[in-house]
Structure 1
Amino acid sequence: MKKPFIIFLFILLIGCSKEDSQANSTADLEVGESTTLDYGQCHSITGPDLRICLDSISDSRCPDGSTCVWEGDAIASFTFRSGTETNSFSLHTYRNYRQDTIINGLKIELLEVTPYPVLNTRIDPKDYSAELLISN
């Protein structure tokens, strides 16, 4: 009996935190402009009820000050909303992985994830941001 209740509370808390992060929205972004989304931030895109949110970043890039076998990759996960339709997707910084996608005729390209990791320095997930270019 307790297990379903705990699962319900967990789902409820996740839902509430998602709404709070998506409430952090800024003014309209023009198509053709680059923009920077901070962790948990959303931007409205000029058009009929378009919105993009940065949900999370996973960073395995080779830290400055270290020697690595490969350069690593940062993965930025987003939610794109068009009216009532929602698309979740991830983009990568590593050139051999997907760095852009097309949704609703808009090309969404990941330009950069900051900050870049430094050896022996922990980065709080909330300190990350992703620079995007949204174009036709």
Structure 2
Amino acid sequence: MKPLRALLAILPFVLGACASPGAPAGQPAQSSYTLAPGQRIDLGGQATIAYDSFSDSRCPESMKCMWAGELTYRLTLHTPAATEQFSLGPSKPGYVSQALGGARIALDPAKLPPVPPAGVAPANYPVTVSVTRP
């Protein structure tokens, strides 16, 4: 009974992707969202994405570093059937969600914040992600 309940929980996502008004026939449906740290957005069908935290260890341009560092955003996808935690960043810009039937959650590289100057703590970076449903 649980597998059937899980299938019924994701069915709106699968059907919603097929009936998406903005996508041409045969093209995946895509939506874009900007979140602030701690914010949660509704994807519909009782699914949400929460922006849990970020870390920015990138080397300031004025410094010489042994390691370039990285920017990482940590997010959690909640659906009635599953919870998936994942990270996105310039080195890992996308995540494929099994709970959303293979939907791809991707970082918008055009919206990445610049590297903060030396000695300045990173601000609370918003993150912009797109959700592309097959």
TM-score, normalization: structure 2?
0.64
* Residue pair 2:37, 2:53 contacting (<8 A) in 1 also: yes
Identity of aligned residues (%): 29
- How many residue pairs were aligned? 101
**Deviation of 1:35 (Å):** 1.9
**Deviation of 1:69 (Å):** 4.4
Which stretch of structure 1 is more off in the superposition, 76-85 or 62-71?
Answer: 62-71
| Distance in 2 between residues matched to 1:109 and 1:86, nearest whole Å | 17
**What residue number does 2:46 align with?**
49
* Residue pair 1:115, 1:128 contacting (<8 A) in 2 also: no
**Deviation of 1:84 (Å):** 4.8
1 or 2, which has the higher strand percentage?
Answer: 1
**What residue number does 1:121 align with?**
120
Q: Which runs of structure 2 are paired with 1:42-121 in the superposition (5 Å)?
A: 42-45=40-43, 47-94=44-91, 98-103=92-97, 104=100, 105-112=102-109, 113-114=112-113, 116-121=115-120
Secondary structure in 2 matching 1:32: strand
User: Tell me, which stretches of 5 or more residues in structure 2 are unaligned?
Assistant: 1-21, 23-28
| Distance in 1 between residues matched to 2:35 and 2:114, nearest whole Å | 13
- How big is the alpha-carbon RMSD for the aligned residues of Structure 1 and Structure 2? 2.2
Secondary structure in 1 matching 2:105: strand
* Residue pair 2:51, 2:73 contacting (<8 A) in 1 also: yes
**Deviation of 1:133 (Å):** 1.4
**Deviation of 1:49 (Å):** 0.9
User: Tell me, which stretches of 5 or more residues in structure 1 are unaligned?
Assistant: 1-29
**Deviation of 1:72 (Å):** 2.3
- Give per-residue Cα distances to partners, 1:51-75, cap 9 Å, x unaligned: 0011011111122332334532111
Task: Quickly say closer, same or farther: Cα 1:106–1:89, change in 2 above 3 A.
Answer: same
